[in-house]
Amino acid sequence: MAIVTAPGLVGTAYAAPSAPSAPAAPFAPAAPGSPAAPEPGAKTLEQVHKEIEELYRQAGTATDAYNLAVGETKAQSDKIVEIAKQVVAGQERIATLKNRAGAAARAQYRSGGLPPGAQLALSNSPSMFLNGADLLRQGEKAASDTLSELARTQADLQQYATDASAHWQTLEANRVKQETAKKEIEQKIKTAEELESKLQAEEKARLIQLEQDAQYKAQTAWLSSGALKELQGTASEAGRKAVQFATAQIGKRYEWGHEGPDTFDCSGLTSQAWLAAGKPIPRTSQEQLRLLPKVAVKDMRPGDLIIYFDDASHVAMYIGDGAMVHAPRPGRTITIAGAGSMPIKAVVRPDA
């Protein structure tokens, strides 16, 4: 099965990954006389690696919450704007109806204050009386309709006010969620970056190697499970376009809350890729999981989205041959990796 790529992109098969270099050893006490012996109880590099990865994963979860709150805030804002337009239209309608009712009152005043029925009764012409009676019924119905419509429009305005109040409350709640998630994201990333900043250059290199080795082990175990044996899926035309968009972004930086064109977070990449393919999908990985049709791993085809971790905090796009493209986390760029290099929760298909 060939990887679907953008024109000019060299595909990398992930069905048989090459063996990693020797696993990095944990921090060990320095030899006697060496200048930099670690303090008692110091964390091993493996422990630092796990802590950093967990912090970034938690930041990913908070990013999903932030993106969802941003979307909901925009939706509520749009509803409030629509209600405002309805209020203006309702007020204009009430003004028209009041003018109509006022015109009828002024006409009655000019006739000496006599109701139309009394004027007809005093008429000396039978034919005028009969014609007038029909006009009177029409006029009474028009007046009744005007009053009824006026009452309905006033009731609508009251409902609009109630709706606007409810939407404002939801809008403010979403803004609070958005700000809370933003603070959590920034704190998690700051903590992770502080941990990394304390490492020496050699240790940082070993940390990257640990990350690669962990991904290799997970991918190898996934492939050994036979996950690719029954894969026969061929990309749809829309799926091919989505893969081409996603792979064309390789090398661009991850940045939380962004959906292009220069930086992306994980779900920003997948949602924009499918938008480019003509299929708008939910903005966040959790909403993509909740709202898009699920497919079995054995039925996976290029363009499908792979949701990772129990909390659905990360998403990637399958591109074939056991590989996926994704925006990993802060400090990383969009890249191709093994589809099984993280715990798979589900696979969803935007164009099912």
- Catalytically annotated residues: 266, 314, 326
DSSP 348: E
CA distance linking residue 315 with residue 63, whole number of Å:
12
- Write the secondary structure of 243-310 as one string of H (helix), E (strand) and C (coil): HHHHHHCCCCEECCCCECCCCECHHHHHHHHHHHCCCCCCCCHHHHHHHCCEECHHHCCCCCEEEECC
Between the alpha carbon of residue 274 and those of residues 61, 247, 279, 301, the distances in Å are: 22, 12, 5, 14
**CB-based burial of residue 267 (10 Å sphere; 0-12 exposed, 13-18 middle, 19+ buried)?**
buried
Please, are residues 210 and 49 in contact by the beta-carbon 8 Å criterion? yes
Please, are residues 3 and 323 in contact by the beta-carbon 8 Å criterion? yes
